[in-house]
Chains A and B, each alone.
Chain A
């Protein structure tokens, strides 16, 4: 079997092929990120790969050939805030996390990491709910969707519809690069990931990907990968185009103030240097 070039270069053999369900779109999201990493010429020792709990975290943990860590549910943003203080300036942290982790249990830590402008690229791999626990709704589940915990349709206010957008909150919190894509965006998504990685500060790319096993089954009525891939594609609209009535996700770069302010670790080390200089006789 001929391995994929990116997998050969960056991923551990033990973890390839992926442990995700067949038909899962997570691989597309991870591949976009790997492609961007490769395009920028990073090696396995240039990046530390963080993950979290849930499909996105568990299936990507330990895949990166270099250093890897997984935080407890929702706390990886606090963990990397500490870790970034210890790294050489040229080192990067990337995180692949889920929608429940980033926008549910971990949102407060995520916002604080954005406020600090922690030098990390967080890719929120969003499969529209808590799928590793069997398919319960999260706050990125589209309104009306039937899931295992919303048998009569998703009824709770979410973070992405009715005029709300979680990316706006994260922008206000201080993130310096924000984009959203669907996993079938291909090169369009890779370009955003490259820009995210080039930002020395807090970047977040939100990627919607299809869950064939649970979400497609309950929300669309069949474990039909073509159906859910098409359904997600049909409900996404690039930011520079006129949205349709049933558009759920606007895709593209939301916010880019790349390198406009110092990242957390640099700011702190600069302050320490300043103190050291002022104390010198």
Chain B
């Protein structure tokens, strides 16, 4: 094991290198620039390639190009760049090409506040491209250490599911300096729970099978397999088609290869959830760290509060929202995004509330005041989300 005092950006680059990433194409953007800088140092040392593209759309396309040639590839950006990924993200989903994407959230809309953390991308990462008919895989670290581990995991999942995987971080996770442990031996890697998957080459001729199975190698070009891949709905062999039945086959696969193997993807971190808490606080990313401290303090003061931290965001883990309680979603935004999914997934007639702010962390004391108000049945100043309203 090696220990560092380093940023999340460094951790992500180390994770990518360890997972076998050999092509990184980026475009400078705060707060994801340092990942690109770290990759520009690491990649050439391990026989990999670092490049900058003319924009994020091209960066992702170049990653797809490399992935089509058999390389594990990655790109990283923030919200304003992520929207330019829409085009290639859809291409990679449809043609089932593994690529890893990092989105470090800052305050929006548009360019917003560049150097402050935000969580306005919760739905963007679920619907990164147009047209629907797909499921997306999204992981959300809350520390630099977890950013390292989830980067390795993102490559693993993208290979097994042959689809792009997004790591949704925020500015504090990527820019923050923390204690990071990087395993070196296989035993250490295993102990940390890291999983690895190699790139296969699909031999053809049925490149897009009618099945929800995973572990099918992707199309690789230049290997004499006579593969076809495109942005159109493919037949099993890859020809473009306008036949609705073939579209059904294809999109069934895109959706159910993920839904039917959800257990491989989903992860969450429960805190004090064993004794049916009266209030459940839901969060992900950096806010979850403040939530954790606040919930622990609240417990010390006798408040029956529990917390659910989402580590994988999509597919959404509906199954864990079984506790009959009041719910509070704490987010780095003002419009309330995660809260909508909590509203949908929690038991019927649950009272669901939202507290959000971005740019800076909520104070532990503020959260504890909120918990107290909610447990006392008093209304809170932040927007109250009524199930009936939906």
Which positions in A face B, CB cutoff 8 Å?
A: 14-15, 44-45, 48, 51, 53, 58, 61-62, 65-73, 75, 78-88, 91, 108-109, 112, 268, 271-272, 275-276, 279
Contact = CB atoms under 8 A, between A and B. Distances in A.
B69 interface: yes
Contact of A279 (B45, B55, B62, B68): B45
Interface stretch (B134-142, B227-235, B266-274): B227-235
B58 interface: yes
Interface string B222-254: 101111111110000011100000000000000
Contacts of A73: 87
A70 B55 CA distance: 20
B240 A75 contact: no
A80 to B, nearest CB: 6
B359 interface: no
A281 B46 CA distance: 16
B221 A82 contact: no
Given A69-B230, A78-B58, A272 B224 contact: no
7 closest cross-chain pairs (CB), A and B: A86-B69, A82-B65, A82-B62, A70-B230, A78-B61, A83-B65, A78-B58
A69 B88 CA distance: 13
Contact of B229 (A69, A78, A112, A271): A69
B12 interface: no
22 contacts: A51-B230, A58-B232, A58-B240, A69-B221, A71-B61, A72-B87, A72-B88, A75-B87, A78-B57, A78-B59, A79-B61, A79-B62, A82-B63, A83-B66, A83-B222, A84-B65, A85-B65, A87-B69, A88-B222, A108-B55, A109-B61, A276-B47
Given A69-B230, A87-B222, A82 B69 contact: yes
A170 to B, nearest CB: 15
A48 B230 contact: no
Nearest to B86: A72
A71 B240 CA distance: 12
B221 A67 contact: yes
A108 B240 contact: no
Contact of A45 (B23, B57, B64, B224): B224
Contacts of A14: 239
A272 B51 CA distance: 12
Interface of B: 23, 25, 44-45, 47, 49, 51, 53-55, 57-59, 61-71, 73, 87-88, 90-91, 221-222, 224-232, 238-240
Contacts of B54: 78, 108-109, 112
Contacts of B61: 71-72, 75, 78-79, 81-82, 109
B200 to A, nearest CB: 15
Contact of B64 (A70, A82, A271, A279): A82
Given A48-B222, A58-B232, 4 more contacts: A62-B230, A67-B226, A72-B87, A85-B66
Contacts of B64: 79, 82
A62 B66 contact: no
Contacts of A88: 222
B73 A48 contact: no
Nearest to A45: B224
A275 B65 contact: no
Nearest to B69: A86
Contacts of A268: 49, 51
A69 B44 contact: no
Contacts of A85: 23, 49, 65-66, 69, 71
A123 B226 CA distance: 21
Contact of B221 (A83, A275, A279): A83
Contacts of B51: 268
B104 to A, nearest CB: 22
A82 B231 contact: no
Given A71-B231, A72-B87, A112-B54, A82 B66 contact: yes
A272 B46 CA distance: 10
Contact of B58 (A15, A69, A84, A112): A112
Name, among B53, B68, B88, B227, the residue most crowded by chain A CB atoms within 10 Å (CB to CB): B68
Given A71-B61, A72-B87, A72-B231, A82 B240 contact: no
Contact of B231 (A70, A80, A276): A70
A199 to B, nearest CB: 20
A91 B231 contact: no
Nearest to A264: B51
A71 B88 CA distance: 9
A80 B224 contact: no
Contacts of B71: 85-86
Contacts of A44: 226
Contacts of B59: 78
Contacts of A61: 228, 230, 232, 240
Contacts of A275: 44-45
A215 B44 CA distance: 50
B58 A75 contact: yes
Contacts of A68: 227-230, 238
Contact of B66 (A66, A86, A91, A271): A86
Contact of A82 (B45, B73, B228, B238): B73
Contacts of A279: 45
A51 B239 CA distance: 13
Contacts of A48: 221-222
A109 B90 CA distance: 18
B88 A67 contact: no
Given A75-B87, A78-B53, A275-B44, A70 B69 contact: no
A223 B68 CA distance: 41
A106 to B, nearest CB: 10
B91 A72 contact: yes
A70 B64 CA distance: 12
Contacts of B87: 72-73, 75
Nearest to B204: A67
A82 B222 contact: no
B91 A80 contact: no
A55 B90 CA distance: 21
A70 B58 contact: no
Contacts of A86: 65-66, 68-71, 222
